[in-house]
Amino acid sequence: MIQVGDKIISLDIFEKYFVCDLNSCKGSCCVEGDSGAPLLDEEKKYLINNYDKVKPYMSRAGKIAIKKKGIAELDSDNDLTTTLVNNKECAFVIFENGIAKCSIEKAYNDGKINFKKPISCHLFPIRTQKYKDFEAINFEEIKSCKPACKCGNELEIPLYIFLKEALIRHYGKSWYNDLLQAAKLLKKQLYF
């Protein structure tokens, strides 16, 4: 573990290589799991207030699920998550050529909203957990991400580099620069 500010970071974040390979995984992180994407309260509010701008990008099934259950729901751990369609995929998932994509992100890319997607999705496969005195940052290894690990290894792109945009979005540029310094120090320790 490495500490940067009040964040405790798993060594996997520095040592694992990762580059999403949607042609292999088909976006399965959006359709697998026991619950929807973890949501922050402010993200739920944003999605409620901007739902009409995202709705045209959504699937019919996603719109029906949200009409019945709302934008978000509590999962079995009582955590706030995106609503699911048939207890499977996120209500915001759309399929293009057999690949799961995000209707929120499509609305963002088209300039309809200024919110890319929930931070939990943007950071994936990093998962965070807040505790009283610190926040843990870990790598969630799932079977469907094996092609992304292979691709990352081939390209030699560490997870913290691949997720630069998401990490800066969530923690800020200054914190990310500190993370880069920690990575340099770690690399020196490993090779000397």
The range of the structural domain enclosing residue 138 comes to: 1-18+125-192
Residue 35 lies in a domain: yes
**How many domains are there within the chain?**
2
Q: What is the pLDDT averaged over residues 32-36?
A: 82
* C-beta separation of 114 from 53 below 8 A: no
Q: Residues 58, 76: one domain? A: yes
Q: Residues 38, 88: one domain? A: yes
Residue 155 lies in a domain: yes
> Which of 91, 115, 139 lies at the terminal end of a domain, its last residue?
115
Which residues pair with residue 128 across a beta bridge? Answer: 137
Residue 134 lies in a domain: yes
Q: Residues 172, 104: one domain? A: no
Structure confidence by residue, pLDDT tens digits, 69-95: 999 999 888 889 999 998 889 999 999
User: Which has the closest alpha carbon to 80: 113, 28, 120?
Assistant: 120
Q: Residues 34, 73: one domain? A: yes
Q: Residues 32, 105: one domain? A: yes
Q: Residues 192, 111: one domain? A: no
Q: Residues 74, 8: one domain? A: no
Q: Residues 60, 85: one domain? A: yes
Q: Residues 39, 111: one domain? A: yes
Structure confidence by residue, pLDDT tens digits, 135-191: 999 998 888 888 888 989 999 999 999 999 999 999 999 999 999 999 988 887 765
Mean pLDDT of the chain: 91
**Count of other CB atoms within 10 angstroms of residue 35:** 18
Q: Residues 111, 162: one domain? A: no
Q: How far apart are CA 171 and CA 174, in angstroms?
A: 8
91: Cα within 13 Å, side-chain hemisphere = 22
Residue 120 lies in a domain: no
**pLDDT given at position 192:** 43
Residue 150 lies in a domain: yes
**pLDDT given at position 191:** 55
> Which of 87, 115, 143 lies at the terminal end of a domain, its last residue?
115
Q: Which amino acid is at 168?
A: I
Q: Residues 184, 155: one domain? A: yes
Q: Residues 80, 1: one domain? A: no
